[in-house]
Structure 1
Amino acid sequence: MKLPPKKNINTKFYSVFKFILLLLLLLNSKSVSAQTSKDPFKVKGFVDFNIYNDTRNFNTLTYNILLQLSERVQYFSLTNNDGFLGSPDLATTYAEHNLRYKITKKSPLDITMQYVLRKGEQNDDIKLGFRWRFNNTKKLDRFFKKMNLSYSINLMMVQFRNQSKTKYGTQLEHVYNINLFSKKLNNRLYLGGFADQIINYNNGNISFTWVTEHQLGYKFFDRLYLVLEYRVNQFFTKKQSGLGYGLEYKVTF
């Protein structure tokens, strides 16, 4: 009996991931141990679940997790599951797992690692980069605080993909959030979102492909929000933009 051929696994890809993960865990443990027992660090963050109906004839279930693991280490993930209307099966699944390490305790800069998971084979990525938090930057923080606004930009400098060449300078990730009419509405209304600016290199020319979502949310009961979201995905061949509407359930701790 002839045995099936073994899969060609790029060990370098997984070695890079394991090394970076171990390094961040060691940095996190060092940061935690440096904190005094009189004032132990308490993990903070949130978990939210969003379900939408998209005008492009599909539904989306999204959940986001943010964990502030120490003063300098943060974890954030998002997972999108899309399915066509009337079908119980998932059409696409996409997830991002992010580890961020603040360069110094007061620095607005983070070293970042992003692990991207997609439905299909040989299409997952590990991305390394730097994030700049504008709202935590001196001489800018007062303006952002007054506007109830946060904004960061993450430059993905290196990208690894299994059985593919290493790429450099592949993406700019813009993320923002603003509380609208915060005093009058007691922080019940927000506008937040992201814009992934993918950088394409072609014969010396540079072009951009955009994936962006902008969500307007209103807290109407306890942890429940009504949400309206404008979406653009230029990787789609048809109907690149659409409108999503639905509910969000958010728990903060």
Structure 2
Amino acid sequence: MSVILLLNIVGYLFNRIQNFKMKLRHIFPLLILVFMVKVKSNAQEVAGHAHYAVLRSTDSINNSPADLSVINAYPFVPKVAAMMRFKLEFTTTNSMFNRVKTKELEKVSNEDIKTTETLVGYRDTSWHDASYFYSFDRDLRKGPGRKGLILKTRNNFDWKISDETKKIGEFTCYKAKGDRVISYREGGEYKIRKTPVIAWFCPEIPVTFGPVFARDLPGLIFEFQYDGIVYGLTDINLTGKADIAPLPNKEILTKEQWRERLYKLAKELNVPYQ
């Protein structure tokens, strides 16, 4: 065997070992993460509640031109959003998320509060279980009422978990990136729009839920970012119990069933449905 060939073989093996070590460096924290969650999940049930604050950015980096034009039309939104607080009641199998009353908001008009809620992605009380996200929606057959029925969706974010960490309070949180997938009808056909989302979750608390519609990570979601909106944990209390109200006694539909109903209603009224 020539010296040149031997050197080439040694170089090849060295590069393979280095590549393997680099991959192991990124994979190992995630394996530890999965192990931690599994052990904790088997050890005990977790329950309690967490409070969140919300921020609404007004910069051009985190907002589209269309979003900026809306925000500029309602300049009070960032200030009112900073006054808002939200509560997540959770167990390992379900959760409930809603806005709580604060003294600061007592002097704000109901109209401004509703506008701000819309622009921070909050609609009303919502629930999660192992399979679905449940939220109020309209039943147009009964008029424009906001709470006409319950809509259930799966909200698959296709999360990509990294080994990047940061401390939030005394807890170590891991970063995950994904996409919020929204389907809509345009020109008689359904299309898909994806919005990037970022979450920081804590595997020390083996709960798969988070604020608003965030879910499906191996740990409680402490921080959730999308569309210039950031929900961040302010405090957490692991009480061993959670005050989760049952789903209201309303009709529950999937998104597909809701759309089909809307299509039939539009046809009956002879109005275009896009």
Q: Same fold (TM over 0.5)?
A: no
More helix by share: 2
**Which of these two proteins has the greater Rg computed from alpha carbons?**
2
TM-score, normalised via structure 1 length:
0.38
Report 1 or 2 for greater relative contact order, CA contacts < 8 Å, sequence distance ≥ 6: 2
TM-score, normalised via structure 2 length:
0.36
More strand by share: 1
